[in-house]
């Protein structure tokens, strides 16, 4: 168990006994798991006890200076992450967005009328046998992608329950793509505030849950063919976010697993919409022509 507190007290490496992967044995990529931690800022990772994410950064590639999109609210940023484009293209401008009800018409349509094509549509078209899944802790998440194309969508409450359901799904279905959304950090950010002891404690608790997900990947026997991406929709300040300031705009972006350069701090700009393009590249499919995101090739072994 990780003892909560400042990183100045040292990394709690004992907590990492829950999983022990060897990056040297990794091979073909058949599974990508995107873990989205709502409201988790780079400051949170820097100042909370996060031995799991620290280990993944040491063994994988990362930046704590990735950027979201404006407005720095959840809906537009979760959409951009899986759409491979920004609000100007996909039209998701707020948390209440639904297909066909935006003032901004999407610049391209996929299989769902009024919806910009997401990574779900790209994978279903180019790799039709893909197992596409989502476990989420925020009700609007399925509005952001073509829910009818997913093999399994699980709605739950609280990051612990989200993790439990994700663990079961990984072991049972071994999905090609799994999007996990955890909401607890954002709740604490809005409650007691970003940069508070409670906020850092929530980041540390989420780090433990990420470790549980990694253990599930190992238990499922797919660790050598899996890539994990950990990121967020936005940062925050005080008890809110949504402003055009760096504290709200910057997000962490960590990628680890098969074919990833170990210990690589990314120097190039990573935007949240590059996430979808990176997932497509990892799984061997082409990005949609309307996407503006690009795969983060700097993170990948040649």
**How is 102-139 classified by DSSP, letter by letter?**
-SS--SS--SSTT----HHHHHHHHSTT--EEEEESST
In a domain, 230, yes or no: yes
Q: What does the pLDDT look like over 65-78, one tens digit per residue?
A: 999 999 999 999 99
In a domain, 59, yes or no: yes
Q: What does the pLDDT look like over 111-156, one tens digit per residue?
A: 999 999 999 999 999 999 999 999 999 999 999 999 999 999 999 9
Q: What does the pLDDT look like over 22-32, one tens digit per residue?
A: 443 446 899 99
Give the domain CATH number at 254. 3.40.720.10
In a domain, 4, yes or no: no
Sequence-separated (6 or more) residues with CB below 8 Å from residue 49: 2, 3, 4, 5, 6, 7, 9, 11, 12, 200, 204, 207
Write out the residue range of the structural domain in which residue 143 sits: 29-261+276-299
In the chain, the number of structural domains is: 1
User: What is residue 291's predicted lDDT score, i.e. its pLDDT?
Assistant: 98
Residue 103 above 80 pLDDT? yes
Which of 3-12, 30-39, 91-100, 233-242 is predicted most confidently? 30-39
Residue-averaged pLDDT of the chain: 92
Which residues share a beta bridge with 230? 35, 254
Q: d(Cα 11, Cα 170) in Å, to the nearest integer?
A: 28
In a domain, 6, yes or no: no
In a domain, 139, yes or no: yes
Q: d(Cα 240, Cα 267) in Å, to the nearest integer?
A: 29
In a domain, 2, yes or no: no
Q: Of 101, 110, 169, 112, whose CA–CA distance to 136 is shortest?
A: 169
Which residues share a beta bridge with 135? 154, 180
| 251 touches 245 (CB < 8 A) | no
């Amino acid at each position: 168990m990780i003892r909560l507190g400042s990183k100045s007290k040292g990394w709690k490496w004992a907590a990492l006994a829950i999983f022990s992967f060897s990056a040297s044995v990794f091979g073909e990529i058949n599974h990508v798991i995107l873990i989205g931690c709502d409201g988790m800022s780079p400051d949170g990772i820097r100042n909370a006890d996060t031995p799991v994410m620290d280990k993944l950064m040491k063994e994988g590639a990362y930046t704590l200076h990735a950027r979201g999109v404006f407005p720095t609210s959840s809906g537009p940023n979760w959409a951009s992450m899986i759409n491979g484009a920004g609000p100007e293209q996909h039209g998701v401008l707020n948390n209440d967005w639904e297909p066909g009800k935006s003032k901004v018409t999407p610049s391209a349509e996929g299989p769902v009328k009024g919806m910009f094509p997401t990574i779900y549509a790209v994978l279903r078209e180019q790799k039709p046998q893909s197992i596409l899944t989502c476990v989420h802790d925020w009700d609007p998440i399925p509005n952001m992608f073509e829910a009818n194309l997913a093999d399994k969508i699980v709605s739950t409450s609280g990051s612990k329950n989200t993790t439990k359901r994700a663990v079961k799904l990984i072991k049972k279905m071994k999905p090609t793509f799994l999007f996990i959304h955890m909401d607890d950090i954002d709740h604490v950010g809005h409650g007691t505030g970003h940069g508070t002891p409670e906020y850092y404690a929530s980041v540390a608790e989420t780090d433990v849950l990420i470790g549980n997900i990694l253990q599930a990947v190992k238990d499922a026997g797919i660790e050598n063919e899996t890539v994990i991406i950990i990121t967020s929709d936005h940062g925050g300040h005080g008890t809110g976010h949504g402003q055009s300031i760096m504290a709200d705009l910057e997000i962490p972006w960590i990628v680890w697993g098969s074919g990833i350069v170990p210990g690589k701090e990314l120097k190039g700009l990573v935007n949240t919409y590059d996430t979808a393009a990176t997932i497509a590249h990892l799984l061997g499919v082409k990005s949609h022509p309307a996407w503006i995101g690009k795969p983060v090739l700097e993170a990948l072994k040649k």
